[in-house]
Structure 1
Amino acid sequence: MTFTKICGLSAPETLDAALRGGASHVGLVFFAASPRNVDYDRAAELAARVPAHVRRVGVFVDPADEVLERASAHIDVVQLHATAPSRAATIRAKLAREVWAAVAVRTRADLDLARSYTDAADRILYDAKTPEGAALPGGMGVRFDWALLDGFRHPLPWVLSGGLDPSNVAEAIRRTGAPLVDVSSGVESAPGVKDVDKIAAFLKAARL
């Protein structure tokens, strides 16, 4: 069985669609530059709708302590992008939360960074490296070559992310054996606007 995370949720109806479809994880983005950013009041509203068996993942980009502290009441897992291993370890110890470290992948050499998080995180999220100068570290619908994962010895439990959508997620799972898949832009009708039908289709395809 492959677990599923719908990320970048910002409205009750799309959160409910993710829960209805059987998502194991739901993601709330705390990054002002993202079209998926939620404020703390909206995060509280959404988090309250999530049953105990579904994990609430807060997504951050090298966050300040104040952001983490204000968001921490609404999340179970901290997902860190562009955050050094030493900082990730500090956050993990301070918040006593499960920590995921995102590793941006374009080449096989990029995967080596995952090993540096062995003592700093609980899970690695492999995401596609975005183009140079991009405003966001993820959520842009870019995928990497899944063959790069062939034979790679993962230092931690892991998540496959980057460019997944309802049409390719089943292939991605078969190809990589991913234990958990993560989608954001692949279930949107416009940047930051989730589509309930696409969410349902993604979650159904991930179960096949």
Structure 2
Amino acid sequence: MAGPLFGWPAARAVPLIKICGIRTPQMAVHAAEAGADMIGVVHFAPSPRHLDAAGAATVADAVRGSAMVVALVVDAEDAALDTLVETARPDAIQLHGKETPERATAIAARYRLPVSKAHGIGTAADLPAITTFNALPVLDAKPPKGADRPGGHGAAFDWSILTEIDRARQFMLSGGLTAENVATAVATVRPYAVDVSSGVEIDGEKDAGRIVAFIDAVRRGSASAG
């Protein structure tokens, strides 16, 4: 589905910025004040950034009304989602597992929330799958062989293959983004949004300075793209 998707903000000249894997209210507030549009909380026990429903609520409450809160889940069942949505009250849900198009649609309908869906991208052959979901595509690198959890694990993929995507299609770019490369990514790909987690960390913890540097770089990339 091309064009705007249910519940997501309108596209703008500067891509929307999502800082994912925030674990403390203080860092959430810092990211929002620095200019992040979305704060991501991870609700997936194997992840080092995992928060239970109560922890996710604490982070969400700190920025409610100042940034969009996106809850990341992996193949979550309805009971777990019910608890998460009721407790943390996220503004959107990001699916990062093996969810089908039908499951993504069912989740959006059950909670009446916008949904995004992560897709591992290695080659152009991986791109057609994004058209089967009525959800905002999050284009991430494929996990390394033998990985015990999904996601790009801080790796980037070849952005040049994204020239084959319909320019009317909104997507969020993820995977290996840092303050050092995101300006180039934005100028090259012109995504609807960018999503970063490990790229703004030091030793596995979010770093305030790296968050500011990343957001500034997104803005520079957008300006150079015209």
Alignment TM class, shorter chain as reference: over 0.9
Runs of 4+ in 1 over 6 A off after TM superposition: none
Tell me if structure 2 keeps the 8 A contact 1:8–1:28.
yes
Residue 107 of structure 1 contacts residue 148 of structure 1 at CA under 8 Å; is this kept in 2? Answer: yes
Amino acid at match of 1:197: G
Question: Aligned letter for 1:92?
Answer: A
Distance in 2 of aligned mates of 1:157 and 1:88: 17
What is the aligned partner in structure 1 of residue 63 from structure 2?
A: 50
Identical positions, percent: 39
Mapped contact 1:4–1:181 kept (Cα < 8 A): yes
- Aligned partner of 1:206 in structure 2 is 218
Normalising by the residue count of structure 2, what TM-score does the alignment of the two structures yield?
0.86
Distance 2:122 2:190 in 1: 19
Q: Classify 1:56/1:139 alpha carbon distance in 2 versus 1 (closer, same or farther; 3 Å).
A: farther
- Structure 1 residues 200 and 176: CA distance shift in structure 2, 3 A: same
State how 1:1-16 maps to structure 2 within 5 Å: 1-16=14-29
Aligned twin of 1:91: 107
Q: Residues of 2 paired with 1:106 and 1:113: CA distance? A: 12
- Point out where structure 1 has 5 or more consecutive residues left out of the alignment: none
CA RMSD of aligned residues (A): 1.4
Q: Corresponding residue for 1:59?
A: 72
What are the ranges of 5 or more consecutive residues in structure 2 without an aligned counterpart?
1-13, 221-226
Structure number with the higher strand fraction is: 1
TM-score, structure 1 length as denominator?
Answer: 0.94
1:1-208 counterparts in 2 under 5 A? 1-73=14-86, 74=88, 75-82=90-97, 83-117=99-133, 120-121=134-135, 123-138=136-151, 140-153=153-166, 156-191=169-204, 193-208=205-220
| Aligned positions, number | 204
Q: Residues of 2 paired with 1:116 and 1:17: CA distance?
A: 36
Q: CA deviation at 1:15?
A: 1.1
